[in-house]
Amino acid sequence: MSLDRPLFRSAAVAFHQQQRQLGNVAALQPLPVKITGWLLVLSTVAIIAFLFVGQYSRKETAVGYLTPSQGTAKIFLSRRGTVKTVHVKDGDTVTQGQPLLTVETDQVSEDGIDVNTAMLSTLTSQKELLEKNISAEEQRADSERERLTSQAKGLEAEISQLKNQI
């Protein structure tokens, strides 16, 4: 191979020099490709903006005093109901475990029975049953103690008889 040969054909170089006056070549993209590209760019910018500006909540345990940032504290209940009584006034200092509100939750089952009353009666009967079980277990433990004590006395008597025989 000779080193003095041109890399391109002379006709191609001449054509390129003549067509330069018409402008540069621009690649045309279909409209859906352009729209998809811009949507990706906009969504990326929106996500980055949200990460810098957006707020989030997190649950954290802290020791100290509760000072509301807006002048009021939001209290969330586990069930819906009606506030029956308010136990504190505006500006009062509250302590941990102090009741703030009494909420009445009227829930009626399909049978027409108040759900809270039914739950209370069920829990009361369970408590009575547990108390009976506790007393029965105490009686069983006492009788077992008496049985073991009498068995120990019997064994002591047997040991003393065996010693006398020896």
Question: What pLDDT shows up at residue 141?
Answer: 94
DSSP string, 55-80: ---------S----SSS------SS-
Burial class (CB in 10 A: 0-12, 13-18, 19+), 81: middle
87 touches 65 (CB < 8 A): no
Q: What are the CA-CA distances from residue 113 to residues 2, 63, 123 (Å)?
A: 106, 43, 16
This prediction's pTM = 0.35
Question: What pLDDT shows up at residue 47?
Answer: 93
Question: What pLDDT shows up at residue 26?
Answer: 66
Give the span between the Cα atoms of 13 and 116, in whole angstroms.
Answer: 94
Residue ranges of domains in the chain? 103-165
Three-class SS string for 19-37?
A: HHHHCCCCCCCCHHHHHHH
Ranges of residues in the chain whose predicted pLDDT is under 70 = 1-8, 19-27, 57-80, 106, 108-109
Question: What pLDDT shows up at residue 16?
Answer: 72
Instruction: Give the other-Cβ count within 10 Å of 100's Cβ.
Output: 13
Question: What pLDDT shows up at residue 11?
Answer: 77
Question: What pLDDT shows up at residue 139?
Answer: 95
Give the span between the Cα atoms of 116 and 124, in whole angstroms.
Answer: 12
81 touches 104 (CB < 8 A): yes
